[in-house]
A and B are shown apart, each in its own frame.
Chain A
Amino acid sequence: TQLLKQSPQFLSIQEGENLTVYCNSSSVFSSLQWYRQEPGEGPVLLVTVVTGGEVKKLKRLTFQFGDARKDSSLHITAAQPGDTGLYLCAGVPGNQFYFGTGTSLTVIP
């Protein structure tokens, strides 16, 4: 059972385009984290969202936590080839850490 489902699973876009990745669950999370993993490397934490409705910005990346704390989104503006990687949401409902199903992003120059 996957607690956190991400969509889309794969995304291939041209450099300069915008995109949104979604992370959804039927469970309530006290916080959600977003990681990016480049090929051949371990995941690296991008952001943690804690408050329902919270919006955080990291340069061209905008993260939002749903009001009900069951979902989150990641929006990338003007994607660049360096944004290519696997994007993972993750959360802790209770005492266990769960990863989302992942979104593999390819930005074509």
Chain B
Amino acid sequence: DAMVIQNPRYQVTQFGKPVTLSCSQTLNHNVMYWYQQKSSQAPKLLFHYYDKDFNNEADTPDNFQSRRPNTSFCFLDIRSPGLGDAAMYLCATSRNRGPSTDTQYFGPGTRLTVL
């Protein structure tokens, strides 16, 4: 059974046209993360929510925003996508933040193409 679900799996948008990616989880985890991953590179953390507490990475562009309306759902909004924003976007969850043995569970990702 899918535990972290991302929709859509593939998203095509035009340069400058806002786009929203969605993530849902059935694990009831407190923490949800959004990562950006480019080809053959490690995922790069954009931000995470610990419950309703939003934590932005220092180098995440302002073009990227996130919403978490409830425990199960989290959205990534890209306000004005550029060609450099084309990437795989991964959502992950963990029960808590900080315990050394905590595990992150990843969704299958959404591949974003910017035309």
Contact = CB atoms under 8 A, between A and B. Distances in A.
Contact of B90 (A33, A42, A100): A42
Interface residues of B, number: 24
Interface in B95-115: 97-109, 111
Secondary structure call for the A interface: loop
B107 A42 contact: yes
B98 A42 contact: no
Interface string A40-55: 1111110010100000
A43 B93 CA distance: 12
B87 interface: no
B70 interface: no
Contacts of B100: 29-31, 50, 92
B99 to A, nearest CB: 8
A51 to B, nearest CB: 11
Band of interface residues on A: 20 to 34
Contacts of B97: 95
A97 B109 contact: no
Interface string A11-33: 00000000000000000011101
A60 B38 CA distance: 29
B101 to A, nearest CB: 5
Given A88-B42, A99-B42, A42 B103 contact: no
Contacts of A84: none
B42 A45 contact: no
A42 B4 contact: yes
A90 B35 CA distance: 14
Given A86-B40, A100-B42, A102-B41, A92 B106 contact: no
Nearest to B35: A99
Interface of A: 10, 29-31, 33, 35, 40-45, 48, 50, 86, 88, 90, 92, 94-95, 97, 99-102, 104
Which 3 pairs from chain A and chain B are nearest by CB? A42-B106, A30-B100, A95-B98
